[in-house]
């Protein structure tokens, strides 16, 4: 039980103020909270399973720069996509959106945001000393719990604040994450060439 609590507490604390919480907030301002929570939980349990199973040896094998570039491009795309109006102005009917269901969008964004994240490193490290199952369950539940607070806040904001400012704030967050991710990837490339 202590391994589970260590993993839960460490990952929940590491997730506080993380980009995943800001993504949860942005998505909850746009989609149903249950959709966002399911996306978070799917990613948390799948990725933490991989991190816990791999142990600490996988940490140095991840190609950091390509992951950051892919995440940056997709976050900017999510931001631009968020700027599209939710309803057609003439009929007040939801606009048709060909393509990707919200659960896929949420899951993909969280997946990318968690690759190379400090919670991944915490799970890898804990799994090497605390055991696989307790670390996996504690880390996944810790991440889901921490991000649930952001989902609740995003939903509250969506139901109380005007839609357009929330839409603009969500888009700005996604684009900022994308630019930051691309900038850190470029910085890592410059350091590796020096």
Residue 38, both tokens = 């399911």
Beta carbons of 1 and 123 less than 8 angstroms apart: no
Query: Which CA distances in Å does 96 have to 65, 74, 103?
Result: 36, 21, 16
- Convert the pLDDT of each residue in 108-157 to its tens digit: 888 888 877 777 777 877 777 777 888 899 999 999 998 998 898 888 87
Contacts of 153 (CB under 8 A, 6+ apart): 25, 28
- Convert the pLDDT of each residue in 174-194 to its tens digit: 688 778 878 877 776 666 666
Measured distance CA(137)–CA(118) in Å, rounded: 17
More confident residue, 100 or 139: 139
Instruction: Using the predicted structure, report yes or no on whether residue 94 has a pLDDT greater than 50.
Output: no
Residue 94, both tokens = 């939801």
In this predicted structure, what is the pLDDT of residue 142? 92
Instruction: Using the predicted structure, report yes or no on whether residue 162 has a pLDDT greater than 80.
Output: no
More confident residue, 70 or 155: 155
């Amino acid at each position: 039980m202590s391994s589970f609590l260590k993993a839960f507490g460490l990952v929940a604390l590491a997730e506080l103020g993380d980009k995943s919480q800001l993504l949860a907030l942005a998505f909850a301002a746009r989609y149903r909270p249950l959709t966002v929570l399911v996306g978070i939980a799917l990613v948390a349990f799948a990725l933490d399973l991989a991190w816990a199973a791999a142990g600490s040896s996988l940490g140095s094998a991840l190609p950091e720069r390509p992951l950051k570039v892919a995440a940056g491009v997709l976050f900017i795309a999510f931001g631009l996509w968020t700027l599209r109006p939710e309803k057609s102005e003439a009929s007040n009917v939801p606009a048709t959106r060909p393509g990707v269901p919200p659960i896929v969008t949420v899951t993909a964004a969280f997946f990318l945001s968690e690759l190379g994240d400090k919670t991944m490193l915490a799970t890898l490290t804990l799994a090497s000393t605390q055991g696989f199952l307790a670390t996996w369950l504690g880390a996944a539940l810790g991440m889901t719990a921490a991000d649930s607070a952001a989902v609740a806040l995003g939903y509250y904001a969506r139901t109380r604040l005007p839609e357009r400012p929330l839409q603009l704030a969500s888009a700005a967050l996604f684009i900022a994450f994308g630019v930051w991710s691309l900038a850190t990837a470029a910085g890592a490339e410059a350091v590796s060439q020096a």
